[in-house]
Structure 1
Amino acid sequence: MRVISGSAKGRPLKAVPGMGTRPTTDKVKEAVFSMIGPYFEGGFVLDLFAGTGGLSIEALSRGMEHAVLTDMDKKAIDTIRHNLQATGLTDRAEVFRNDAVKAVKALGKRDMQFDLVFLDPPYKLKLVSELLERLMEGELLADGARVVIEHDAEDRYEAAVGTLEWVRRTEYGDTAITIFRNRIGDITN
């Protein structure tokens, strides 16, 4: 694994030790950023179930201003901190060891809004719909915010969830990417 593009291009990323984390492959990561970017002019990114931190680190490298990364696994948190340090992006990120639902609730109390959200929960957890609703209830999504969900290819999502409108779905073997956009703002991109 490595950073594909931007200010930290080519820097290697450490994997989380053990078999509990399924990192996003470079192929899928490159495809995701070609759909949502490829580059950004600022903005805030939230990475729930961050694992290695690879998606947020890629977003920071490509121009996002600030990232909040959460994961429950201590090994993942240690790996995220290592990867942020290795890419020189530590000062642009906050890392929390927390349950995703609790993290969303806590962030809502801070009046934070995000332009990009990554949801990549373990496939067996069926939390995505609940998290999407909580993100909207907590007003954590900026106008035009994109939500990128990495999930089992067998899972399907509605065309609209509250203010979120389905934009695109692609499959990569057993993995699928579904992208929503907060339709309150401009949805032409």
Structure 2
Amino acid sequence: MRVISGDKRGLPLKAVPGSSTRPTTDKVKESIFNMIGPYFDGGIALDLYAGSGGLGIEAISRGVQKAIFVDQNRKAIETIKQNLSHCSFEEKAEVYRNDATRALKALIKREISFSYVFLDPPYAEQNISNEISIILDYHLLDEKGKIICEHASSVVLPEEIGLGKKQRSETYGDTTISIYTYK
């Protein structure tokens, strides 16, 4: 696992120890950023099921100004902090140990909105439609922002969720990437 492109291209990233997280493969990560970027001029990203922090770190490396990382696993939080330090991105990041729903409620109170929201929940615990609804209903996404969902290919997400519509969907083996924007 590594940073694919941008300022920190080629830097290796640590994976979360154990089998509780499923890291995004480099191939899928590169495809995601080719679909939404590939480079950015500022903006704020939310890496909601951050795991090792690979998606948020990749976004910062490619020009996102700041990223907020959320995961409920203690080992994941430690790994994210180590990876941020290794990339010298501590000043561009906030890291929180929390579950997704509580994290979203806390972010609503901060009145923050994101340019990019990465949703990569464990395949067995996916609640993506509900989370997308919360993000859109409470305007946690910028008007032209994108929600990038990584999910099992066996899961078919609806074309429309609340205020959002599926802009694009691509499948890579057992993984599908679905991108939502405001209607």
Task: Tell me, yes or no, if the aligned pair for 1:77 and 1:96 is still in contact at 8 Å.
Answer: yes
Indicate whether 1:132 and 2:127 are aligned: no
Any conservation in 2 of the 1:48–1:70 contact (CA below 8 Å)?
Answer: yes
Deviation at 1:118, TM superposition (A): 0.3
Counterparts of 1:124 and 1:147, CA distance in 2: 20
Q: Count residues with an aligned counterpart.
A: 183
Q: Deviations over 1:110-149 (max 9, x none)?
A: 0000010000001111310110111122220111110010
Give the drift of 1:157.
Answer: 1.3
Quote the Cα distance in structure 1 between the aligned partners of 2:142 and 2:182.
7
Shift of 1:182: 2.2
Gaps of 5+ in 1: 184-189
Task: State the partner residue of 1:186.
Answer: none
- Quote the residue 1:75 is aligned against: 75
Q: Which letter maps to 2:60?
A: L
Measure the CA separation in 1 of the matches of 2:181 and 2:39: 17
- 1:56 aligns with 56
For the residue of structure 2 that corresponds to 1:124, the secondary structure is helix
**AA in 2 matched with 1:2:** R
Identity value in percent:
49
2: CA distance, partners of 1:126 / 1:118:
13
TM-score for both structures, normalised by structure 1: 0.95
Structure 2: runs of 5+ lacking an equivalent: none
CA contact (8 A) 1:119 1:149 kept: yes
Cα distance in 2, alignment partners of residues 182 and 61 from structure 1: 26
Tell me how large the CA RMSD over aligned residues is: 0.8
Contact 1:136 1:162 in 2 (8 A): yes
Equivalent residue runs for 1:62-101 within 5 Å: 62-101=62-101
- Cα distance in 1, alignment partners of residues 55 and 155 from structure 2: 21
